[in-house]
């Protein structure tokens, strides 16, 4: 039963107030993209046993989507932040690198 802080309304949300919505920072591919790019965008999601960036909606609350950085193996939450970003804030990246030595934010992925 996770607790995630909604960065928009500051509530320490209990999981039942939230809806999980999969990987964050997906790059959309539309008409003009290759089959492989499009498949990667829709289906080949990150599924690490470790640090994961994901989308959540504060559905029983302010209704906003936000992003969370969370460990899928320990459920530790490194932070939550605005969904209107292309990558996690630098200070959050640094915090995670400090806690998980060797971890770095990926290149914004083109495919796979």
Does residue 110 interact with another protein by CB under 8 A? no
Rg (CA), the chain: 15
- Please name the residue ranges forming H helices in 1-112: 35-42, 90-99
What region does 15 belong to: left with phi over 0, alpha with psi -120 to 50, or beta?
Answer: alpha
Does residue 102 interact with another protein by CB under 8 A? no
* Minimum separation from the CB atom of position 85 to another protein (A): 9
- Supply 75's token pair: 């459920």
Q: Note whether 8 and 64 are within 8 A (CB).
A: yes
Contact string 17-46 vs another protein (x = CB under 8 A): x-xxxx-----xxxxxx-xx-xx--xxxx-
* Minimum separation from the CB atom of position 94 to another protein (A): 15
- Residues that bind another protein in the complex, under the rule CB under 8 A: 1-3, 8-11, 14-17, 19-22, 28-33, 35-36, 38-39, 42-45, 47-49, 52, 54-55, 57, 59-65, 70-77, 83-84, 99, 112
């Amino acid at each position: 039963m996770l607790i995630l802080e909604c960065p928009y309304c500051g509530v320490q949300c209990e999981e039942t107030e939230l809806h999980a919505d999969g990987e964050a920072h997906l790059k959309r591919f539309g008409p003009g993209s290759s089959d492989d790019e499009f498949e990667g965008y829709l289906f080949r999601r990150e599924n690490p046993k470790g640090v994961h960036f994901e989308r959540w909606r504060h559905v029983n609350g302010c209704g906003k989507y936000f992003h969370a950085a969370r460990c899928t193996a320990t459920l530790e939450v490194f932070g939550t932040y605005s969904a209107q970003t292309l990558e996690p804030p630098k200070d959050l990246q640094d915090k995670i690198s400090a806690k998980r030595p060797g971890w770095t934010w990926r290149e914004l992925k083109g495919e796979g």
